[in-house]
Amino acid sequence: MDERIRNKYIYQFDIRGSIVSIAAYGKGHINDTFLVKTIVDGCIKRFILQKVNSNVFKKPEQVINNIEKVTGYLKTRADSERVVLSLIPTKEGNTYFKDENGDVWRMYNYIENSICLDVVENEQDFYECAFAFGKFQRDLRHFPAETLYETIPNFHNTPVRFGAFLSAVAADKCGRVKSVEREIRFITERQDFYSALIDAEAKGDLPLRVAHNDTKSNNVMLDYKTRKALCVIDLDTVMPGYSVTDFGDAIRFGASTAAEDEKDLDKVHFSIDLFKAYTKGYMAGCDGKLKDTEIMLLPEGAKMMTIECGMRFLTDYLNGDTYFKINYPDHNLVRARTQLKLVSEMEEKWEEMKKAVKEYC
């Protein structure tokens, strides 16, 4: 980062001491992240500076407002700086700084002596990630979720996603429908399932919660020595939602034996062992503070997120690949197929999933 930006942006924030270094940091795919080191009274202090991706987040002020509310609340419950993100205010007392291009910058405390994993290395790591997200729900269980902005409307509204899918099939813009009839049938055959979570909310079985909405392992900081969960990061997508979709998306991504875009479907399996490890960790993190009816819907959350994701990939394939970045022509179709394969294996292991949830709750 050049000197100009260094002076202009960093000194907007209320940090003491002088800057030692600034460097691009981490492997995040969304925001531009920098590690800032300062020296204060002979001690090095670290901060995370981020430019919020304005292509993804159209209303960055609302994103930061949500983060401010959630971190402010979590801080009152935290016993150390290492277990919660804190927004460092600007010298003017704001939680972000807007540059001349309209880009929004923010600064966080650095979670010291921590690591995050792009791919979990074993069941124990997966358990710890689950624990962190479970604890996130436990700590926020009395937070008024409806006061947060819905920064991406209908993000996990599966019936709305299904509607978009049906429109893509009907339009058949690229003439691809014929070649994916089997996949289309798989998705349409399950249409009665898509309102399961919304119906459960209407019945009072599934409370509105603070959903994190990006529950990948690389959004959990673990202690670098003990590998115990410290802190959930990347709060850009916190919104009113359900605990079970957070849980479900983590399972969709993390309990698969192969990458989301594995071409060889023989390598793609839903691992019931990883599901059990995550469930156990999540339950330990929640510590019995979720509603019973909500806990019983965790398997539905996993299946919902997986089929929703599959239908989104297929929708994009039918529409001509306008949303997800692709590296080759059938990339979205390959992705859709992995998700549908996982769904069919979840259905085969449904009773085992239900049993595991009961056992660990």
Ligand X SMILES: Nc1ncnc2c1ncn2[C@@H]1O[C@H](COP(=O)(O)OP(=O)(O)O)[C@@H](O)[C@H]1O
Provide the binding-site residues for Mg ion, judged by CB under 5 A. Answer: 28, 219, 234
Q: Is 249 in the site for ligand X (CB under 6 A)?
A: no
Tell me the C-alpha distance between 184 and 82, whole Å: 46
In 100-142, beta strands by DSSP E? 104-109, 114-115
Specify the residue for token string 């992240």. 33
CB of 217 to Mg ion, least distance (A): 10
Specify the residue for token string 């058949």. 172
Binding mask 7-26 for ligand X (x = CB under 6 A): ------------------xx
Binding mask 110-139 for ligand X (x = CB under 6 A): xx--x-x-----------------------
**What number of CA atoms fall less than 13 Å from residue 114's CA on the CB side?**
23
CB of 25 to ligand X, least distance (A): 6
Q: Which is nearer to Mg ion, 28 or 159 (CB)?
A: 28
Strands 43-51 and 97-98, how do they pair?
unpaired
Tokens of residue 295, six digits:
């806990």
CB of 219 to Mg ion, least distance (A): 5
- Order of strands across the sheet that contains 220-223: 114-115, 220-223, 229-232
Neighbours of 212 (CB within 10 A): 28
Please say whether the beta carbons of 244 and 200 come within 8 A. no
Size of the site for ligand X (CB under 6 A): 21
Span 42-81, contacts to ligand X by CB under 6 A = 48
Binding mask 265-304 for ligand X (x = CB under 6 A): ----------------------------------------
Q: Which is nearer to ligand X, 111 or 120 (CB)?
A: 111
Residue 144: CB partners within 8 Å, gap ≥ 6?
A: none
Among residues 125, 183, 234, 300, which is the contact residue for ligand X, using CB under 6 A? 234
Tell me the C-alpha distance between 164 and 161, whole Å: 5
Among residues 17, 19, 21, 28, which is the contact residue for ligand X, using CB under 6 A? 28
Among residues 16, 29, 178, 325, which is the contact residue for ligand X, using CB under 6 A? 29
Bridge partners (DSSP) listed for residue 222: 115, 229
Q: Is 169 in the site for ligand X (CB under 6 A)?
A: no
Interface residues toward ligand X, by CB under 6 A: 25-31, 33, 48, 85, 108, 110-111, 114, 116, 218-219, 221, 233-234, 236
